Amino acid sequence: MSSVPAQTSAADVITVSVPLGDRAYDILVGRGLIETAGSRIAALGARAAAIVTDEHVGPLYAQGLSHALAANGLRTSLTTLPSGEATKSYASLEQVCDAVLEARIERGDLVVALGGGVIGDLAGFAAAVVRRGVRFVQVPTTLLSQVDSSVGGKTGINSRHGKNLVGAFHQPSLVLADTALLDTLPLREMRAGYAEVAKYGLIDDARFFAWCEAHWNGIFDGGRERDEAVAQSCRAKAAVVVRDEHETGDRALLNLGHTFGHALERITRYDSTRLVHGEGVAIGLALAFRFSASLGLCPSSDAERVEAHLKSVGLPTRLSHVPGGCGTVDELLDAMAQDKKVKGGSLTFILARGIGQSFIAPGIEAEKVRAFLTSEIDASSP
């Protein structure tokens, strides 16, 4: 990958295909895609579309998208929900399902998720269960949702027991990743999304991680580097999803950093003023590499390199970086016990032998995790 001129047009669209047989779909990446969303979505052949968005994104883009769909012959409806992780709830799921039914959306019609990961996960889950499954389109509006949650068909809501524990696999019919929408994204949200970009390099592509180290400023500035980073992230995720759609094997690698990250989100009660998902992932990535180093699996220099890069971007990397505290070791272990990768009560981690050399490590002894977390908390103490 290489740096290219920052200016692009809507015609410079990168297509990433997800070949899943009769559930295959395309991810389109480029600047200005929202301007052609009406015709692209209409081309899927639906007669109606139920748009689901939030109070932040809706006022910016929902009316324009609704008008564009109507101009292309689709009957539309709009449901607007509060912003934030708390919206991924049973109550919101009921609201969206009722709205989709009230809009008389049939199986051949569409639910359109216009927003970040929360809206995409929630609207996708509603699409999966209404009428036992209707089609849906992802129009992700954050970096995190463009490179991660909008791709692969994982949908769901949170429970008081943990994050994303209630959901379904339901593939979208189309993903439109308009990278120009990220121009006005708050810096904190860009950084949070970038943690997922870096993750793909750390899993199995050391060259991509090195490219990110060299070009992350271009991703933030909105140059062609941003389009390439989003597309490459989508290619990486699509390749894993095609191999393991329902996360029975290799797909668990995509959770690098997430066992720690999800535990921290649960401890902070999904309070985005304290911690957003990508920040939890960033801390989790650094912890996963330091844990791997502590077990003698990974060179300490690689763990240091990962932490240095995340810090250079402005991301947290330590338990002490969680505002309001990260909880006790027992609280962290209890939160991890609800992780979806737990099997037979044993903890499964995604660990690494080096940058770009991650692997699934089942049956990690709880006492080793306890000792590592104790050392991390002790190291953070004044």
Q: Active-site residue numbers? A: 132, 154, 196, 237, 247, 251, 255, 258, 262, 277
- DSSP state for residue 331 in the 8-state scheme: H
Helix, strand, coil share of the chain (percent; to 5): 50, 20, 30
DSSP E strands in the chain: the ranges are 14-18, 25-30, 48-54, 75-81, 110-115, 135-140, 154-159, 162-169, 174-178, 347-352, 358-364
- DSSP per residue over 132-192, as a string? G--EEEEEE-SHHIIIIITSS-EEEEEETTEEEEEEEE---SEEEEEGGGGGGS-HHHHHH
51 close to 38: Cβ distance less than 8 angstroms = no
Beta bridge partners of 28: 15, 176
Question: Angle between the 277-294 and 366-380 helix axes, to the nearest 10 degrees?
Answer: 110
Q: Could you tell me which of 280, 282, 285 has the C-alpha nearest to residue 268?
A: 280
66 close to 51: Cβ distance less than 8 angstroms = yes
Q: Note the helical H segments in 205-276.
A: 206-221, 224-243, 258-267
